[in-house]
Structure 1
Amino acid sequence: MGQQHRRMATATVLLALLPVTLTACGDDREPTEGSAPATRQAPAQEAAAKSRERVQAYLDALAARDTAAGRSQLCAPLQATFDTAATGPNGDFADHFTVPQATITDVRTGPHGQEVSASITVAAGSRTATRALLFTVTRTGADWCIAGEAPGGNPAQPAGTP
């Protein structure tokens, strides 16, 4: 009979704690006007925002000719290649290039991470050229970094298109 009393006591304790446990799980309702805003963005929105930030920081470093700032936006595997190629004759940070304009044109999810398209105007002496670049941005742990850069890019999506 002792075994049955133990089971009954355990079941009673569990049922008594159930409302407390469920209350601690949180409230999934939408915030009402005047309530504190959500501190976390949806994962897709966060990925797009972080990817845009990383590429914009790289473009800013490119325009400022700051190789250290540009390098810091890249994932570790790309940094070794960057060190040897960035300031070479055709590198992004070559001495004879200037970047009078660089604009992000599109951000979307791709097969290898976030794809950030940019239009970059490069000047060398009196000649200028505008090129499209596609940056791939991935998450590494708690941070984001540029994992790839290639010619081309995605066409801009119309406003309101997911």
Structure 2
Amino acid sequence: MPDASRLVILDRDGVINQDSDDYIKSLAEWIPYPTSIEAIARLSGAGWTIAIATNQSGIARGYYDEATLASMHAELERQVGEAGGKIDLIAYCPHGPDDGCTCRKPLPGLLVQIRDALELDSLEGSWMVGDSLRDLQAGEPMGCRPVLVRTGKGRRTEAKGVGLEGALIFDDLAAFADWLLSQS
């Protein structure tokens, strides 16, 4: 069973891959940051459990379907695998902002799914890495340690400066991975 203190939960768009205000609607539009693939592989190779928690309201909005999302995630897993790592779990919310679900970040439902799927008692002490305040807010009630990356919407989030108390801030996922690996 994984140890929550050795779990890194990542947002997807803006942390692992380039984000777009027009949504990432196809495999062709899913463009990973090369350093993020390598960072995930390094963390995984060092014994960290890697999970992804991603809002994908483009499904509810009709911009793409779950098969398209699955193809993006298969490619992500392929690239991380090729780099020598693995992703243990991908949890996503397919709902729109007005659907009344419990999984759409900033609600913690995706993290509850991750906790339960990994058979953890809690997520206390795990890391929640995102580029927006809603990512960090989702981890708060679960006891996750917040990390903001400046990629994606991260610089805008940092400039607002609201709700970032206690968050560690890094230029990108690779810089966070460097720091985290240097801690152990």
Bin of the TM-score, shorter chain as denominator length: under 0.3
Q: Which has the higher contact order (CA 8 A, sep 6+)?
A: 2
Greater C-alpha radius of gyration: 1
Q: From the two aligned structures, give the one with the greater strand fraction.
A: 1
How does the TM-score come out when normalised to structure 1?
0.23
